[in-house]
C-alpha cells in the first residue's frame, strides 16, 4: 500500500483536496498525526452513489462462487497488510497491538465466514411451489422465491472498532455477500487506518474484475456527507454502529425520504447482569474478578460492557460488592479512543454522581495523562432506578451501576423497567437457574443474547450468534449485525410465477444445478424436480 494521501475513494478514482483538511489524533499523546485528510465534496458523494447504482445489476447477478472469491481476496490482502494496519491503528486509537491483531483476525474471519456461506448458497432460502392445474376451486400456479440483494448500502464506521466494525467490517462483509455495492463513511477516529483498508478493497474489486461502483470510501463529517448519502435516491439501506443520537438522526432521515429505506443501527446498551445469592456465596470472588475484567475491557469501550449490576441484599452480596469495589479502586486508568469520547465519559460520570439516590462506591487510579478514563462504580436502589429513566442511559466507558434490590419483587420491577439491550447476563447455581425460569424469560424479552454464568463482552462470530436486541440496542430488533444471519438485512424476497424453467434464476431451476437445499412443496430437498 502506498503512503497515505488523505483522499476519499470514489470508485477507482481519488477525491480532490478542496475542503478544509483535518488530521487524526493520537489519543495517548493528544498529538496530531500526518497527513492531512480532506472531506469528500457533495459532488464526490453523489458520484459514489451513482457508481453504486450502476454496479448494482452486475453484482446482483454474481454467482456465489464469484462473491466468495472476492471476499476471500479482501481477507488475504488484509492479512498481507497487517503490519501497516496495526502500526497506523495503534497510533490513531491508543489500542494495544494485541487488540488490533485480534480484531484484524476477527475481520478476516468475518469475510471468510460469509465467503463460505455464499459459496454453499443455501442462505438464499429457495422455495418452490409446483403448479397443480387440477386443484379446486382454482388451479395452483407454479411460483418460486428466493432472496435478492437490496441494492446500494451505506456503512457508517464505528469509533471503537477500527477493523471489525469499520471499512471491511461486518456490515461491509455482509452487504458484499448479499451482492450489494457499499459506500463507506470512514470514521475520523481512525481515518488513516480506513484509507489503508479502503485501498485494499479497491485492489480486490479491480483484481476480481467487478464494476467500479462496487465500493467507495468517503471521508468527512457524517452529519454532513453522511446525511447527503443517506438521502440519495440510489441508496437502499444503511448500516450504522454508534450513538443513539447518530442512529436516530439516520433513522429519521431514512424515514423522511420520498422512498423510505431501512436503517440497521446498533446504538446504546447497558447490558444488565443479574447476580443470584447462591452463585455469590459459592464463587463471589471469581465473579467479581471476571466482572471487573468485562467492565474495563478495552477501557469499557465495548457495546456489550456490563453497565448494570442487579442483586438482592444478603451477606454474600455485601461481601461481593466489597470485593468488586476493592478491584475497581486498584484499577489503573486507560486511554480512550478520542478526546471527544473521553469528554463525554467525564460528563457522564459527573452527571450520574450528582443524581439523587446515587453514590460513588469506588473509583480507580488516575495517572493524570491525556484522555485517560478512570474506572468508576456507582450504586443506587431499585426504587430510585425504576423512577429515573436517565439511569438507563449508557455511560460509554469503564463504569457500572449497582442496583440494590430488597427482594425478588424489586428485581422483577427493575427488569420490567429496562429498555432493549444487546445482552443480559445471569449468574446462579443450577438449582437457582431452575427456580428462576420466569426471571430468565424476562431477560430473553429485553436482550438479543442471554448469557448464563459468563460475561457479555466477547462476541463470537458464527452462524448462531445474535448481536442485536430490542430498541434502542438496535433499530430493528429482529436482526443481528454479527454472524452469518447479518446478510438478511441487505436482501429482499422476490417471487417468480409461471416462469419458463430456462428463464428462472439458476437456484430455482428444476435440475437444481447448484445442489441447494430447497423447500419444495413444503418439504426440504436437495434433489432435482
d(CA 56, CA 71): 17
| Residue 303 designated active-site | yes
| Cβ atoms of residues 42 and 48 within 8 Å | no
Torsion angles phi and psi, residue 300, rounded to 5? 70, 10
The residue from 157, 303, 331, 405 that is catalytic is 303
The three cell numbers locating residue 91: 497510533
Give kind and range of the element (H or E) at residue 288: helix 277-296
266 belongs to the catalytic site: yes
Peptide bond connecting 33 to the previous residue in cis, omega within 30 degrees of 0: no
- For residue 116, the surrounding DSSP H or E stretch is helix 97-120
Catalytic residue among 44, 92, 266, 277: 266
CA–CA distance, 391 with 411 (Å, rounded to integer): 16
User: In 3D, which of 180, 157, 161 has the Cα closest to residue 234?
Assistant: 180
Return the beta strands (E) in 208-337 as ranges. 215-218, 237-241, 263-266, 272-275, 308-312, 334-335
- Joined together, the cell numbers standing for residue 84 give 501497516
Query: What DSSP element (H or E) covers 192?
Result: helix 191-207
Secondary structure element (H or E) that encloses residue 295, with its range: helix 277-296
Cβ burial of 456 (10 Å; 0-12, 13-18, 19+) is buried
What are residue 298's DSSP bridge partners?
none
**DSSP bridge partners of 427:** 275
d(CA 28, CA 32): 11
Looking only at the bridges linking them, the beta strands covering 13-14 and 9-10 are: antiparallel
By DSSP bridging, strand 182-185 and strand 215-218 are parallel
Rg (CA), the chain: 25
Nearby residues of 136 by Cβ (< 8 Å), 6 or more positions away: none
Hey, which residues are catalytic here? 266, 303
Amino acid at each position: 500500500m502506498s503512503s497515505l494521501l488523505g483522499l476519499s475513494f470514489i470508485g477507482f478514482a481519488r477525491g480532490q483536496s478542496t475542503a478544509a483538511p483535518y488530521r487524526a489524533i493520537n489519543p495517548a499523546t493528544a498529538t496530531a498525526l500526518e497527513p492531512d485528510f480532506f472531506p469528500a465534496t457533495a459532488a464526490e458523494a453523489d458520484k459514489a452513489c451513482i457508481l453504486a447504482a450502476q454496479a448494482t445489476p452486475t453484482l446482483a447477478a454474481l454467482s456465489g462462487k464469484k462473491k466468495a472469491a472476492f471476499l476471500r481476496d479482501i481477507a488475504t490482502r488484509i492479512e498481507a497488510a497487517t503490519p501497516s494496519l496495526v502500526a497506523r491503528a495503534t497510533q490513531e486509537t491508543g489500542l494495544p497491538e494485541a487488540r488490533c491483531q485480534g480484531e484484524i483476525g476477527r475481520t478476516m474471519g468475518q469475510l471468510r465466514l460469509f465467503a463460505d456461506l455464499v459459496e454453499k448458497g443455501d442462505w438464499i432460502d429457495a422455495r418452490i411451489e409446483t403448479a397443480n392445474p387440477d386443484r379446486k376451486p382454482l388451479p395452483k400456479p407454479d411460483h418460486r422465491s428466493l432472496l435478492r440483494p437490496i441494492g446500494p448500502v451505506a456503512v457508517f464506521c464505528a469509533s471503537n472498532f477500527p477493523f471489525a466494525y469499520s471499512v471491511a467490517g461486518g456490515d461491509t462483509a455482509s452487504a458484499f455477500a448479499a451482492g450489494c455495492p457499499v459506500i463507506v463513511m470512514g470514521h475520523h477516529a481512525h481515518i488513516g487506518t480506513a484509507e489503508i483498508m479502503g485501498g485494499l478493497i479497491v485492489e480486490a474489486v479491480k483484481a476480481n474484475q467487478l464494476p467500479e461502483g462496487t465500493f467507495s470510501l468517503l471521508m468527512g463529517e457524517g452529519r454532513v456527507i453522511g446525511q447527503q448519502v443517506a438521502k440519495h435516491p440510489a441508496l437502499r439501506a444503511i448500516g450504522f454502529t454508534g450513538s443513539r443520537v447518530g442512529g436516530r438522526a439516520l433513522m429519521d432521515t431514512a424515514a423522511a425520504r420520498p422512498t423510505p429505506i431501512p436503517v440497521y443501527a446498533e446504538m446504546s446498551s447497558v447490558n444488565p447482569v443479574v447476580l443470584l445469592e447462591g452463585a455469590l456465596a459459592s464463587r463471589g470472588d471469581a465473579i467479581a474478578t471476571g466482572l471487573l475484567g468485562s467492565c474495563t475491557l478495552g477501557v469499557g469501550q465495548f457495546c456489550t460492557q456490563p453497565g448494570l449490576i442487579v442483586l438482592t441484599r444478603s451477606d454474600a452480596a455485601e461481601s461481593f460488592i466489597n470485593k468488586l469495589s476493592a478491584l475497581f479502586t486498584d484499577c489503573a486508568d486507560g486511554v480512550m479512543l478520542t478526546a471527544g469520547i473521553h469528554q463525554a465519559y467525564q460528563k457522564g460520570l459527573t452527571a450520574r454522581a450528582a443524581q439523587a439516590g446515587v453514590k460513588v462506591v469506588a473509583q480507580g487510579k488516575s495517572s493524570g495523562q491525556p484522555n485517560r478514563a478512570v474506572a468508576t462504580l456507582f450504586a443506587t436502589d431499585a426504587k430510585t432506578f425504576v423512577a429515573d429513566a436517565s439511569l438507563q442511559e449508557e455511560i460509554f466507558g469503564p463504569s457500572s451501576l449497582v442496583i440494590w434490590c430488597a427482594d425478588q419483587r424489586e428485581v422483577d420491577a427493575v427488569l420490567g423497567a429496562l429498555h432493549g439491550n444487546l445482552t443480559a447476563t445471569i449468574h446462579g447455581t443450577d438449582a437457582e437457574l431452575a427456580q428462576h425460569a420466569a426471571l430468565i424469560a424476562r431477560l430473553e424479552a429485553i436482550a438479543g443474547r442471554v448469557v448464563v454464568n459468563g460475561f457479555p463482552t466477547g462476541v463470537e462470530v458464527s452462524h448462531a450468534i445474535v448481536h442485536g436486541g430490542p430498541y434502542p440496542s438496535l433499530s430493528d430488533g429482529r436482526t443481528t449485525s454479527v454472524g452469518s444471519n447479518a446478510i438478511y438485512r441487505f436482501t429482499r424476497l422476490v417471487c417468480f410465477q409461471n416462469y419458463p424453467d430456462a428463464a428462472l434464476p439458476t437456484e430455482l431451476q428444476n435440475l437444481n444445478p447448484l445442489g441447494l437445499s430447497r423447500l419444495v412443496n413444503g418439504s426440504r430437498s436437495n434433489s432435482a424436480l
